[in-house]
Chain A
Amino acid sequence: MDISALLKGDVEQWNIFLVSRLPRLLAILCTGIGMSVSGLIMQQLCMNKFVSPTTGATLSSAKLGILIALVFLPGSTLWGRAIFSFVFALLGTWIFVWFIQSIKFKDTIMVPLIGIMFGNIIGGITGFLAYRYEMTQALTSWESGHFSLVLRGRYEIVYLVLPLIILAFIFSSHFNIVGMGKEFSSNLGVNYKVVLVMGLSIAAAITASIVVVVGSISYIGLIIPNIVALYKGDKLSGTLPDTALLGALFVLISDMLARTIIAPYELPISFVIGIIGSLMFIAIIFHKLKGGKKLQKGVGINGNKCSCS
């Protein structure tokens, strides 16, 4: 399709545009914004730069929720699946955060490792259920996210991302304060537990509303917030718009790559993001580890111990 036909008012072209192209673009933007912002919220609240929907069991729990809806409520609508997905994402994330908070890991790398293991356990359960109820084929379509099935009438849930992002923006200072620790929040009169639960619920709801439409897309929530934090710091009211925009841009560019590399066929976008994302993730880990060593040295000189709780 081309723009001149649209300008001429070609009805069929307009139909394609409104039914397929525009929804696809909007879904891409919502996915980029949503996944990166939910990653940002989770990193703040868990005080760990490597936590995200992927490494915090949110994504895998959301998928389990969808599968359970498909297995036990075969006639469920998209909304029904979204609710299941949301409830499971919420539970999975809460359990993970409760676990890391009660164990009190000192090591920053341990937390995402536990999250990945926990996510894999949930993934295993999902896989088993899918196999048991002959749902493996349905599962594959959630397993690797793609935008090729985004059509008018079956993607609108992803718009839920927008009000949730606005909510996150309103409470951005609260998230920042909770990210500074329990005592810090208490000093400023912020209820630590309430804000923690609320923030995680927002992140889980965003993730669930994306997974149910496009499937699981990893890494965005992990790398985008980290890149923005490198140049903009951690003050959420400042980084949130940047994170949202960069996330949208990243997914948009990845989608273009996915469609051009083997044109006229299309790669699932999760492949493209997975490859670029994992490389960037490794780069960030290297960067952090180097930065961490420097910090350790500085600590020695100043005689000031880091209390990373």
Chain B
Amino acid sequence: MTIERLKKKYDGKSVVKDISFEIPKGKIISLIGPNGAGKSTVMGMISRLIAKDGGNIKFEDKDLAKWKSKELAKRLAILTQHNNVQMKLTVRELVAFGRFPYSGSHLTAEDLEMIDKAIEYMELKEYENRFIDELSGGQRQRAYIAMVIAQDTEYVLLDEPTNNLDIYHSTNMMKMVRRLCDELGKTVVLVLHELNYAAFHSDYICAFKDGKIAKFGTVEEVITKEVLSEIYNVEFEIMKIAGKPLTIYY
């Protein structure tokens, strides 16, 4: 996926200014940056939830806007926090929606197998007939991820997946994201606020500031004292734990 000269204005104010980057296949890419830096807006435009004001997004060498939504849904999954959580659907019913782009409401034997696999992969077998509104936040997140797995897309876009989760659940969430990439070969793009999750679990980081890309590169290239202090305007120390850079800010 290639992003070229992407622009977005809200009420005449530029929030995304001429952003270009490429998303490497089969890797985890985290978008980081302070509030209002434009990372969520960029994510919204990549996932077609927000209309762009300029620039191009190419997905598999074809303009993103030219993709049929149903075809795109088989290649690119989007998970945001804005789901109706009061809907009384069972875990299994929710996961089954992942097969909707393929078979509509008439599930085939193959679909059922994919659904079973996804549920087992997310260790939700014992909850599969429970309503999602009765689950804990972490379980519900897993159910949504299971749906994305059943959707069987090469690309997965996650908008702040650790938002509102406690340390235990967000750490598990990040481990799951890693498995999606390593075991299932998916390309995962996520917006993250927690720098250390981004540093520890991603392959590439794209750091935003003031609607521009401040730095795009591997974790080691971006997680440095100089780059982060410049972006966030606070003092940073970088430590190495388990061979990965970790940040301390104060």
**A177-191 CB contacts (< 8 Å) to partner B:** 177, 179-184, 186-191
| Contact present for A306 and B73 (CB under 8 Å) | no
Contacts A181-B82, A233-B93, A305-B164 given: A189-B73 contact, CB under 8 Å? Answer: yes
The segment from B132-140, B176-184, B212-220, B229-237 found at the interface with A is B132-140
Give the CA-CA distance A229 to B62 in the complex, in Å: 43
| Contact present for B100 and A179 (CB under 8 Å) | no
Q: What residues of chain A lie closer than 8 Å to B97, measured between beta carbons?
A: 173, 176-177, 180, 188
**B69-104 CB contacts (< 8 Å) to partner A:** 69-74, 77-90, 93, 97-98, 100-101, 104
| Contact present for A182 and B89 (CB under 8 Å) | no
| Contact present for A309 and B82 (CB under 8 Å) | yes
B47, B137, B166: the one contacting A186 at CB < 8 Å is B47
Is B131 engaged at the interface, CB distance under 8 Å to the other chain? yes
Mark B94-117 against chain A: 1 for CB-CB distance below 8 A, else 0.
000110110011000000000000
Is A18 engaged at the interface, CB distance under 8 Å to the other chain? no
| Contact present for B82 and A182 (CB under 8 Å) | yes
| Contact present for A304 and B87 (CB under 8 Å) | no
Is B125 engaged at the interface, CB distance under 8 Å to the other chain? no
| Contact present for B83 and A183 (CB under 8 Å) | yes
Is A235 engaged at the interface, CB distance under 8 Å to the other chain? yes
| Contact present for A308 and B164 (CB under 8 Å) | no
| Contact present for B164 and A303 (CB under 8 Å) | yes
Contacts A186-B48, A188-B100, A304-B164 given: A229-B105 contact, CB under 8 Å? Answer: no
| Contact present for B69 and A304 (CB under 8 Å) | no
B73, B84, B164: the one contacting A181 at CB < 8 Å is B84
Q: What residues of chain B lie closer than 8 Å to A180, measured between beta carbons?
A: 83-84, 87, 97
Give the CA-CA distance A183 to B70 in the complex, in Å: 14
Give the CA-CA distance A307 to B79 in the complex, in Å: 14
Contacts A184-B83, A189-B70, A233-B131 given: A303-B88 contact, CB under 8 Å? Answer: no
| Contact present for B88 and A229 (CB under 8 Å) | yes
Chain A residues bordering chain B, tally (CB within 8 A) = 34
Give the CA-CA distance A307 to B80 in the complex, in Å: 10
Residue of A nearest to B77 (CB): A187
B47, B74, B105, B165: the one contacting A173 at CB < 8 Å is B105
| Contact present for A186 and B85 (CB under 8 Å) | no
Q: What residues of chain A lie closer than 8 Å to B48, measured between beta carbons?
A: 186
Is A156 engaged at the interface, CB distance under 8 Å to the other chain? no
Residue of B nearest to A171 (CB): B105
| Contact present for A186 and B49 (CB under 8 Å) | yes
| Contact present for B86 and A308 (CB under 8 Å) | yes
Residue of B nearest to A239 (CB): B88
Contacts A189-B73, A308-B85 given: A303-B49 contact, CB under 8 Å? Answer: no
Is A234 engaged at the interface, CB distance under 8 Å to the other chain? yes
Residue of A nearest to B166 (CB): A303
Q: What residues of chain B lie closer than 8 Å to A187, measured between beta carbons?
A: 47, 73, 77-79, 151
Residue of B nearest to A178 (CB): B84
Closest approach, in angstroms, between the C-beta of B88 and any C-beta of chain A? 4
Q: What residues of chain B lie closer than 8 Å to A233, measured between beta carbons?
A: 88-90, 93, 131
**A225-271 CB contacts (< 8 Å) to partner B:** 229, 233-235, 237
Q: What residues of chain A lie closer than 8 Å to B169, measured between beta carbons?
A: 302
| Contact present for B93 and A235 (CB under 8 Å) | yes
| Contact present for B100 and A307 (CB under 8 Å) | no
Q: What residues of chain B lie closer than 8 Å to A234, measured between beta carbons?
A: 87-89
Give the CA-CA distance A49 to B101 in the complex, in Å: 27
Could you pull out 29 A-B pairs where Cβ atoms are within 8 angstroms?
A47-B86, A176-B97, A177-B100, A179-B84, A180-B84, A180-B87, A183-B82, A184-B82, A186-B78, A187-B73, A188-B100, A188-B151, A189-B69, A189-B70, A189-B100, A191-B69, A234-B87, A235-B89, A235-B93, A298-B136, A302-B137, A303-B164, A303-B165, A304-B136, A304-B138, A304-B164, A307-B81, A307-B82, A308-B86
Query: Which residues of B come within 8 Å of A, CB atoms?
Result: 47-49, 68-74, 77-90, 93, 97-98, 100-101, 104-105, 131, 133, 136-138, 140, 151, 164-166, 169
Query: Which residues of A come within 8 Å of B, CB atoms?
Result: 47, 172-173, 176-177, 179-184, 186-191, 229, 233-235, 237, 295, 298-299, 301-309
Closest 5 CB pairs of A and B: A304-B137, A189-B73, A302-B137, A189-B69, A189-B70
Other A-B contacts than A191-B69, A298-B136, A302-B136, 6 sampled, CB-CB below 8 A, are A173-B97, A176-B89, A177-B100, A189-B72, A233-B88, A307-B81
